[in-house]
């Protein structure tokens, strides 16, 4: 018997693929991952900034809620002053009393329709300085004013005049320095 040999075919050698890269994904996926991490970082920073910005407002509202039914107008005024000192410079707020204090509170509203401290100045000043107490209705009216101010005027808007001072007065004060 004769052994037949098979003719050799002209085959090319097997080409192995290159070894896997240390970078498991294509560059587009890496860019997407970096972008996603950047967005998450910005969101975390914004949430943290928001919480820090509103921390004094939340504390003031919690303290004010203790005076909903029993308290004096002096207690409410103290809460408003503490909250204002948390957001505005001490030298601008601490010295304000009477009409100037109430005008400052009204100026901090983002919408002028919510202002009401000057309109209720007689009740407010009587409650702070008179020996006789306010009626429960007057007290609740002042309480609602304070609560509304804490919710809507804080934290202060950046486009409002600096700490309740008109922009003209601010410019003249900065020119003196």
31-74: pLDDT as tens digits: 999 999 999 999 999 999 999 889 999 999 999 999 988 888 99
- Give this prediction's pTM: 0.69
Per-residue CA distances from 111 to 107, 114, 160, 168 (Å): 9, 6, 11, 21
- Residues 153 and 105: beta-carbon distance below 8 Å: yes
User: What's the average model confidence in pLDDT over 76-84?
Assistant: 93
Percent of the chain's residues with pLDDT above 90? 38
170: confidence class by pLDDT, cuts 50, 70, 90: very low
177: confidence class by pLDDT, cuts 50, 70, 90: very low
- Residues 130 and 96: beta-carbon distance below 8 Å: no
User: What's the average model confidence in pLDDT over 87-103?
Assistant: 90
Provide the pLDDT for residue 131.
Answer: 81
- What residues have CB less than 8 Å from 46, skipping those under 6 apart? none
């Amino acid at each position: 018997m004769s052994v037949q040999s098979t003719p050799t075919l002209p085959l090319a050698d097997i080409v192995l693929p290159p070894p896997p890269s240390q970078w498991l994904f294509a560059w587009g996926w890496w860019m997407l991952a970096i972008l996603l991490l950047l967005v998450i970082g910005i969101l975390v920073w914004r949430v943290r900034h928001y919480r820090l910005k509103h921390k004094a407002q939340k504390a003031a509202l919690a303290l004010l809620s203790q005076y909903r039914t029993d308290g004096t107008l002096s207690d409410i005024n103290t809460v408003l002053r503490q909250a204002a000192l948390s957001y505005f410079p001490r030298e601008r707020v601490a010295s304000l009393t009477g009409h100037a204090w109430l005008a400052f509170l009204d100026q901090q509203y983002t919408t002028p329709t919510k202002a009401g401290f000057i309109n209720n100045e007689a009740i407010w000043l009587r409650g702070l300085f008179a020996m006789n107490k306010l009626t429960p209705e007057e007290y609740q009216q002042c309480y609602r004013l304070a609560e509304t101010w804490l919710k809507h005027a804080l934290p202060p808007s950046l486009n409002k005049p600096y700490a309740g001072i008109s922009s003209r007065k601010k410019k003249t004060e900065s020119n003196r320095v």
